[in-house]
Chains A and B, each alone.
Chain A
């Protein structure tokens, strides 16, 4: 009667032991495909070499367990934290011992206190100071990621407090460790290969009196005194991202303002003004300008004889100050064009915007490979050069920061400074200091200034080149390519990736679950094996019923 049933039961009886042997193999053999739960776009920290010294983050692979600032212990942990919460010392420790770090950038800098801001700038400098062998990623503010950070920190804190109390029993400790939620962090799509195409574009153009151009007397034209205005374009900072470029904004405002003056023969001054924009700033040690000087200086005596070189650097960042600084490597002698311009600038700044201009003297430190200011490149070639900045020190973190406190006030100060510079330059080239040049139709307004703020590099699109060609003559782009054998600088590819955060259970939980499943399967097995007994019982009951029926 139970032949068939026995057959089925037999099958389970034999199968169970085999099952226990085979299951681990099945588990080991299975791969784990990636299924995203929370996906974020993140930026890898910038990576570049200057003069053979490596800067930035040197790794990109990340597949680790997420831990908070307080709880990470080994290099198998990836710290995930907010930028504000991280301290410099913690960062140094993480850089040395952790497996990776993901930093959530603050949402809005303007709501932070000035101390917090100061801390952020300091930390930014500290992170940028050296090469980092662990992967470092930054995420723009994202509420979901913020929640995850909250959850990681709070759950750990709870455990910490319960440990401190020591009143919790061992059992609840175990339960805690089993029920804990973990996060696995996987970054895909990021790489850190050398950009073979790395180059620094330097774009130049000049303004010269129209009359002379028309006559075609190049000789006469080139005999005019020359002024050089330079700025640099920062296209990366802590992360490789488009930054608002205040220097370029001021620079381009000057270009467009002076092109108006030069457009008619009657108003054009007896000066040539050369505008020079290189796409390498402080971080790349003004490599672009070096290359430009090396190639142009020997051929063109005109450049060597320029009256002065005006470098614009960090001119709008400090918006709450009424002081502008003129940085020089050597104090200008009385009677030189530089000193004349300095006086002119002082007067103009005071007159129009009530801004004071102070001179700052800093000698070039030849022992230091890294230059402090862009004008030092020119000063080293014995050209009269200075930098105009709203920052007093070349070590000011604001120079290379990626954080923008208040876009509006920055724009305002950029506009103000552009106005001062334009008026001072105008007064200098015309040799008078009475009339306001840029007013009315040619005024430097906010509308004129704003569009330049987010202009992209010439390597991205042609906006900058087109603007140069629109306003200036003799536009030329040169590229500084690193030498194949001894590269002065090197840029790297692949600066962003996708961050996947999986909620995972700890290994203890896996073990626990295995036991539960084994227990369940055993009970199912026992139920099937003992089914005949159960069936007999039912049969008896039915029998009774049938009989009573």
Chain B
């Protein structure tokens, strides 16, 4: 039962956000909701694209075979996620940190509710204990960091006053983010490590990407004075 604790706490946090930000003059909560709405819209677009253009259901990767081409195609569609977040960033008014955090948080919250909520609600409440739900919760924490990083990177990418030397690094990180599912899963599959180690590796990769982006962001933020 405790395995659903994290999810519950997340949901609770969201409710708390609601109470807090309905009264708040900044309205960060509504920005989060907006970001979530965009997330849903983006996912629908992605699904449409996948259904239309992906080769066929059988060549899609399953747990058994890791089809590189199909996985590549699938990851390419993930670029729409980036477009979605970029759109959210352009639409959400706000200054500096708040804008990035609400975009990333909203996006991540929508993702966790839509893609993991049902599994946790149905599975983790069962009589049987399984570590997989704990892993899923930790994984969604990682993806929260990832989405915050992505939002930051996109914001940096859209800035014209970014230092020239940082431009290629930002672009590279963005591409790495988009195809993260492809290369990270591929590497983990080749290493054939257990679920806990792969979770740790994912956390490590994401954190280092996050710290790098934060570093660049801090530099720019200070120059433009926010």
Contact = CB atoms under 8 A, between A and B. Distances in A.
The reply to whether chain A is a binding partner of chain B is: yes
Interface of A: 1-2, 4-5, 7-8, 11, 14-15, 18-19, 22-23, 26-27, 30-35, 37, 184, 186, 502-505, 509-510, 513-514, 517, 520-521, 524, 535, 538-539, 541-543, 545-546, 549
Contact of A542 (B24, B101, B134, B222): B222
A543 B5 contact: no
Interface stretch (B13-21, B65-73, B74-82, B85-93): B13-21
Contacts of A19: 9, 12-13
B42 interface: no
Given A538-B218, A549-B163, A505 B26 contact: no
B208 interface: no
Closest 6 pairs (CB-CB, A-B): A35-B126, A542-B219, A4-B98, A502-B128, A542-B218, A538-B218
B1 A503 contact: no
A5 B123 CA distance: 35
A186 to B, nearest CB: 7
Nearest to B138: A520
A504 B127 CA distance: 7
Contacts of A23: 5, 8-9, 12
B2 A514 contact: yes
A34 B128 CA distance: 9
B129 A535 contact: no
Nearest to B21: A11
B128 A504 contact: yes
Interface in B19-54: 20, 24, 26, 28
A521 B2 CA distance: 13
A1 B221 CA distance: 10
Given A5-B97, A35-B126, A521-B6, 16 more contacts: A2-B97, A4-B98, A8-B28, A19-B9, A19-B12, A22-B12, A503-B128, A504-B128, A510-B2, A514-B2, A514-B5, A538-B214, A538-B215, A539-B221, A542-B216, A542-B218
A524 B127 contact: no
A513 B126 contact: no
A521 B137 CA distance: 12
A4 B101 contact: yes
26 contacts: A7-B24, A8-B101, A14-B16, A19-B12, A19-B13, A27-B5, A32-B1, A32-B125, A34-B127, A35-B123, A35-B126, A37-B128, A184-B127, A186-B127, A504-B127, A504-B129, A510-B2, A513-B3, A514-B2, A517-B6, A521-B6, A538-B214, A542-B222, A543-B219, A543-B222, A549-B165
A546 B219 contact: yes
A539 B223 CA distance: 10
B149 to A, nearest CB: 14
- Contact residues of A: prevailing secondary structure: helix
B57 interface: no
B96 A4 contact: yes
A549 B219 CA distance: 11
Query: In the complex, which range does the number of interface residues on chain B fall in?
Result: 35 or more
A318 to B, nearest CB: 47
A5 B148 CA distance: 14
Contacts of A1: 226
Contacts of A514: 2, 5
B198 interface: no
A34 B126 contact: yes
B128 A15 contact: no
A336 to B, nearest CB: 69
B222 A11 contact: no
Contacts of A4: 26, 28, 95-98, 101
Interface in B162-184: 163, 165
B140 interface: no
A186, A514, A524, A542, most chain B CB atoms within 10 A: A542
Interface of B: 1-6, 8-9, 12-13, 16-17, 20, 24, 26, 28, 95-98, 101, 122-123, 125-129, 134, 141, 163, 165, 211, 214-216, 218-219, 221-223, 226
A325 B224 CA distance: 109
B101 A15 contact: no
Nearest to A4: B98
Given A4-B98, A11-B20, A30 B128 contact: no
Contact of B16 (A18, A505, A538, A542): A18
A151 to B, nearest CB: 15
B17 A503 contact: no
A33 B126 contact: yes
A502 B127 contact: yes
B5 A517 contact: yes
B101 A11 contact: no
Contacts of A34: 126-127
Contacts of B129: 503-505, 509
Nearest to A511: B2
A35 B126 CA distance: 6
A48 B221 CA distance: 83
Nearest to A515: B2
A116 B123 CA distance: 44
Contacts of A542: 215-216, 218-219, 222
Contacts of B165: 549
Given A26-B8, A502-B127, A504-B127, A11 B97 contact: no
A32 B98 CA distance: 39
Contacts of B222: 539, 542-543, 546
Contacts of B97: 2, 4-5
A510 B1 contact: yes
Contact of B28 (A7, A32, A510): A7
B12 A30 contact: no
Given A18-B16, A513-B3, A32 B126 contact: yes
A507 to B, nearest CB: 11
Contacts of A31: 125
A546 B128 contact: no
A312 B45 CA distance: 78
A509 B126 CA distance: 16
Contact of A541 (B122, B134, B215): B215
Contacts of A33: 122, 125-126
A509 B134 CA distance: 14
A37 B141 CA distance: 28
A38 to B, nearest CB: 9
With most chain B CB atoms within 10 A of its CB, the pick from A7, A37, A543 is A7
